[in-house]
Structure 1
Amino acid sequence: MSERGLLIVLSGPSGVGKGTVRGAIFDDPETNFDYSISMTTRSPREGEKDGVDYYFRSREEFEDAIQAGQMLEYAEYVGNYYGTPLQYVEEKLAQGIDVFLEIEVQGALQVKERMPEGVFIFLTPPDLSELKNRIIGRGTESMEVVNERMETARKEIELMTSYDYAVVNDLVPEAVRKIKGIIETEHLKTERVVHRYQKMLEGLK
């Protein structure tokens, strides 16, 4: 029977660069874990593809999935649903494959309640003014929505203490290096490996 995979949850306020950091991690050919694609009811941004960046679904389809118990987590954020389909995550973890989630803060806290054994990483901006500049720089939201996202971001940053690690996203390659280091360290924790040695000791009796 294979060891259960590690659940890695990357989260943080909107505009902090979660998608950029996640993309850089998975552009590395040495990355050996799977990305669980989130589902959302928001419209695709320029360049985003269904089944690659998100599963883009109607509100009705998303709510049907909730009612059927098919979501590991979900949250409504600035008028749209975001969430993680459960089946894919459970199947991969059971096969011993590490699964990487990039999700909103509300959803990450739901996952922590259901799977507290996961590794929870909070991606932070260098400061709030830089975060606002990044959101405005997208050019996809009105100032009303930008201000709404900033107010939400302030509240989310206060929840940082619910996470295991905090990584500042100032330079993307540096953030990627730190996140990979966290994952490598987690795999070396004694509670994750001690059962292997217990089996060895039993064989010596």
Structure 2
Amino acid sequence: MDIIAFLGIAGTAIIGSFVGLVVLLWLVGFRIIRSDRVGIVEKWWSPRGSLKDQIIALKGEAGYQPDVLRGGIHFRTPLMYKVHTMPLVTIPQGKIGYVFARDGVPLEGGQTLGRMVPGNTFQGVRFFLENGGQRGPQRQILREGTYAFNLAMFVVVTESQVYYLHMGDTVEMQTIQSMAAHLASIGGFAPVIIKGADDKTGIVTVHDGPSLPSGDIIAPAVGDKAGDPNHHN
């Protein structure tokens, strides 16, 4: 065998091995997610069936999965999964963010904001849903920091942008964009600061919750005791 024939066979073998490796990596779903991003997993099909009214599949059904993939190497075969790579949510220093849940228990009549789930940070979708989290705008706000949210489940509204996984629902996004514009117009992304030296007080009007008894004009204190689930300081 002359050298040219040998090189031809060797080259073909190398190319074949490379193509085979690429196909193998594709089949096993090899992917690298950067440290500043998360992967949102959408399951194409499942022997457990698909969802009807929900968005998040808590029991392995087809649909968006509750857990996100953090930065690193992951394997999710494209024969069963699609991975949407999304940015981490960042709330700048001195700003706040608002959360809109796409799944959960429906709001009750007369309720405007979803009730707070004790111990919830919105980074645990399963915890939120299994502990009575409600669909819609949330009462709990986000303080400054960086968060790894499942943006199939939560839409996060900040001063600079709206974080979400687009699902093609035009009405939903019009509602979110309208809410973001309203918050910006009233300075809703900056916390209210009352300095002790200013000798001022703040009066809060709440637009959600039970109505006051007839004749009352001041609501009772809420969350002023450490044992209260709505405790604040």
Question: Which range, TM-score by smaller chain?
Answer: under 0.3
- Name which structure has the greater RCO, CA cutoff 8 Å, separation 6+: 1
Which structure has the highest helix share of the two? 1
Larger radius of gyration: 2
* TM value normalised by structure 2: 0.24
